[in-house]
Amino acid sequence: MAESAAYQVVARRYRPQRFADLVGQEHVARGLSGAIESGRIGHAYLFTGARGVGKTSAARIYAKALECERGPAAEPCNDCDSCRAIAAGQDVDVVEIDAASNRGIDEIRQLRQNVAVRPARGRFKIYIIDEVHMLTREAFNALLKTLEEPPQHVKFVLCTTEPEKLPITILSRCQRFDFTTVDTGSIAGRLAQIVEAEGADVSPEALTLIARRAAGSMRDSQSLLEQLLGSASGPIGVDEVHALIGTGREERIGELVAAIAAREPARGLAALDASLQGGADPGGVLDQLIAALRECLLASVGCDPSMLTRSQGLGVDLAALGGSMGTATLLAMLQILDQSLSRMRTSGHAALLAEMAVIRLATLEDLESVSAAVDRLASATGPVPAVPASAGNVAPRPAPAAVAATVPQKKTTDLTDPVVEPAPSAVALPAPPVAITPTPELPADASAAWKAASATLEGLAGDCAAEAIGAAWRDDQLEVTLPAHATTAAAFLRRSEVSSAISRALESLAGRRVRHAIVMLEAPAEPAVATPVEQPRPASVQTQASLLREAGEHPLVAHARTLFDAAIRKVEPPRPREPRAMASAASVASAAEPGEAAGDGDATNDEAGNVEEQHG
């Protein structure tokens, strides 16, 4: 073993020295060697691709092929002084520039002066500019003319991982070669050669796991292998690799996937906890879960089985699980995992985020079934046939006379039309209140049906539902009437999550979907108040109900209600000494006060107003 001061890392010691050694970049090797053989040697090349796929190594091999004493040749000999000097980075005619640290216009001006100097001993003067996208705009502009028409003895090789950041004027002056990511099998094969040369004992499964973790980067895989060789003693297996890269054992990941497919969150959390207790990183486990669900997704759309490579060792049939979960559900699951991984990068609670992701996946609704149900509803052309009440459906709606008797007056769509509020005794819910146990069907009496549904609601939703003063069946829809002053309760019951809870309660009682609507009685007309002649009432006076409606429709007020989970309490006129006020002030009350009445009195209603909120 050489002294530590002279030690070279695996990635440098086993760097490709010939075009044939470029793993996974055969198309680049053919293009470059073919250009040399045919004599069509360009003056500027652009090598693009992900990190660690061989861009700089290919540039050095190309430089050796041009400068080789037996060339220019399709393959460098690696024996002459020129090849050895280039391989060691000591050739004066091959200049490697790091554009990340030499990105200014002054460095490019110096380069332009140096290109006029002929090579010291070789045929060409070759400039390899790494991470060229880091150059400034001024530096690119200074390089343009030299890059397009360099001296005959100058060749440029530009390497970058982000070609989209290069100006189009630079791209048009170069021959471009795109380096692809290396497939897992090729990486594992190259690692096996290195292990054999190092005299180490690493199992093929461990090499495959390292290659998979490298995600197409040969240099990343070699760095992981070197770390493994330096930290492990004796034979190296998959357990040592899992401990190094922070991933869970394959069988535990398979158990996690099976628990998610079976919609068992407790079982999924147990599998996740077992992986974390074994030393796995939460992000690494989610990465493995993404890879497994990807294979399920490929199987769900009918891809060839040869594309599925991760089923080995998981102990589950990913193809079968993919078919059972469905494409739409798998797409949603992968989006959830991607969002969770993004949040982990900036959060200090990675394990909690992983547990949240597993619970969300295991409780996710079957989106394929939802889509099928929507399609069936959309394809229905006629009314749903009547089914006896014993089958768990809603009883036939009552006659119009009975409906009118249940709710004497309903709020119309135009809130400006006053309607006299009926006596409370005519619209009150049947008394005394009786605890109703949910039954398989809804009663024909609309008020009793509403009481049965609202009895299943809890907390604030139940309190708001108790504000109802009547209910009626209208066109297979349960219309629930609230008094005019219960605007906050109505707004809370119309919220999407509360409306969904009411719909689920009605569906569980009726055995089928039952639509419902929240309506309100119109406030009684306000008595006219005589005003002194010297102080006439403005012509723009509106009813309080109309002001409430217009204030609620204003975009600023609507945004404030959504942002602070609030509702409009009352509308007040602007102060007399504020002639520039553009709107009346809307006082906003929390949704936690459903019974608070709207304020009395008239007010002017302009375009917008100052909003005063109480947080719910």
pLDDT value for 420? 41
Average pLDDT for residues 68-94, to the nearest whole number?
89
Local structure of residue 236 (DSSP, 8 states): B
Q: What is the Cα–Cα distance from 471 to 474, expressed in whole angstroms?
A: 10
Domains in the chain with CATH codes? 4-179 (3.40.50.300), 184-245 (1.10.8.60), 250-369 (1.20.272.10), 400-520 (no CATH), 544-612 (no CATH)
Question: CB-based contacts of 262: which residues, under 8 Å, 6+ apart?
Answer: none
pTM over 0.85: no
pLDDT score of 124 more than 80: yes
Alpha-carbon distance values, 82 to 67, 74, 89, 90, 128 (Å): 7, 15, 10, 9, 16
- Among residues 70, 55, 75, the alpha carbon closest in space to that of 15 is found at 55
Alpha-carbon distance values, 564 to 201, 592, 603 (Å): 63, 12, 24
Helix axes 218-231, 184-198, angle to 10 degrees: 40
pLDDT value for 157? 95
Q: Which tokens is 560 given?
A: 């404030």
Longest dimension (CA), the chain: 113
Mean pLDDT of the chain: 77
Q: Which residue has the higher pLDDT, 385 or 188?
A: 188
The residue type found at 211 is A
Cβ proximity of 496 and 518 under 8 Å: no
Q: What is the Cα–Cα distance from 205 to 342, expressed in whole angstroms?
A: 29
pLDDT value for 473? 83
pLDDT score of 581 more than 50: no
pLDDT score of 145 more than 60: yes
pLDDT value for 31? 93
Q: For 203-249, what is each residue's pLDDT tens digit?
A: 888 898 898 888 889 999 999 999 888 877 778 888 888 888 878 78
The CA R_g of the chain, rounded to the nearest whole Å, is: 37
Is the peptide bond prior to 72 cis by the omega test (within 30 degrees of 0)?
yes
Average pLDDT for residues 102-124, to the nearest whole number?
89
Q: Which residue has the higher pLDDT, 360 or 5?
A: 360
Task: Give the pLDDT band of residue 264 (cuts 50, 70, 90).
Answer: very high
Q: Which tokens is 565 given?
A: 């989970």
**Maximum average pLDDT range among 257-261, 277-281, 484-488:** 257-261
Average pLDDT for residues 59-85, to the nearest whole number?
90
pLDDT value for 456? 81
Please identify which residue in the block is written with the tokens 């497994």.
292
Is the peptide bond prior to 594 cis by the omega test (within 30 degrees of 0)?
no
Q: Is 211 exposed, middle or buried (0-12, 13-18, 19+ CB in 10 A)?
A: buried
Cβ proximity of 302 and 322 under 8 Å: no
pLDDT score of 552 more than 50: yes
**Residue 507: its H or E element:** helix 496-510
Q: Which tokens is 534 given?
A: 């010297």
Measured at the CA of 295, the angle between CA 308 and CA 50, to 5 degrees, comes to 85
